[in-house]
Amino acid sequence: MMDPICLVENQNNDLIVNPTALEILDKMISQPVVVVAIAVVYQTGKSYLMNCLAGQNHGENPKIQYTNMPREYIRKFFIKRKCFIFERPTNNINLLQHMEEVSENQLECSFQVQTKNFCNYIFTAAKTKALRERIIVTGNPQVALKERNLHDDDMNYEMNVSWDGDLGKAYVDTINSGAVPCLENAVIILAEHENSMAMQKAADHYSQQMAQRVSFPTDTLQELLGLHADCEKEAIAIFMERSFKDDNQAFQKKLEVIGLCIYPSKFLFF
């Protein structure tokens, strides 16, 4: 038996026989039985004794399991974690109801020490939020990807993201759509949006520069192609500065196609 089951229960001040327990006795137990009655006040150790008899070393009930569930999920999904335990800020009920107005000297000394330790850790030792592929999340409202060479095959990525307007919004929109929330998926959505904007800005720069630099008639086709190459190089540099996770260079290739198809063709057949 995995968990202890009560045979006779108290329900609404009436004793009843638990039908589940009867079914177990009828279908699963063929050996002689021993009846054990444990009569104690609530929350004084009855569950622990019953679990010991059932071969378990813990005393749990559905209410306790529900209470412990968040703790178990934290352990499961946050393997590496730093936990702080805070005592009650004050024993004064009136102050507890207006904590936002309470001065520091009205709080328990032990709570003040714990709070300072917590703040010191956050400000000095807490690690920055990082996603997979070593992408670091910061709070800058402008999204940018900076790539730094660490050594031949090692790259470090830094992503500046406004949680209110960019990554956070994409994450919340995913939740509201009914899909399973995942920061990595939100990053993909964000990357598509930001790369589209980066491509548009680069294309606009290319268009403006070609319009300013090309004066017809040009002396040679080579001169036109040279101007095109210079403007395209500048446009790609602008795109690379603002692009984010364009791993397969899909947006960069689109940008190059825009330059090749629109402007050289337009000028060549002007």
| Residue 3 lies inside a defined structural domain of this protein | no
Q: Are residues 123 and 141 both part of a single domain?
A: no
What integer pLDDT is reported at residue 183 of this predicted model? 64
In terms of domains, do 158 and 224 share one? yes
Do 120 and 141 lie in a common domain? Answer: no
Q: Does 72 fall in a domain?
A: no
Domain end (from 33, 64, 95): 64
Number of domains in the chain: 3
Of 9-18, 213-222, 224-233, the one with minimum mean pLDDT is: 213-222
Shared domain check, 104 and 45: no
Range of the domain at 196: 136-268
- pLDDT tens per residue across span 87-126: 889 999 888 888 888 888 999 999 999 999 998 888 888 8
Domain end call among 127, 155, 181: 127
Mean pLDDT of the chain: 71
Query: For the whole model, what pTM was predicted?
Result: 0.43
Same domain, residue pair 96 and 171:
no
Which of 127, 160, 182 delimits the end of a domain? 127
Q: Do 147 and 193 have their domain in common? A: yes
160 and 262 together in one domain: yes
Instruction: Find, among 194, 218, 202, the residue nearest to 258 by Cα.
Output: 202
Q: Based on the domain organization, do 59 and 36 belong to the same domain?
A: yes
Angle at 92 between CA 86 and CA 95, to 5 degrees: 85
Across the range 31-58, mean pLDDT stands at 67
Residue 119 falls inside a structural domain: yes
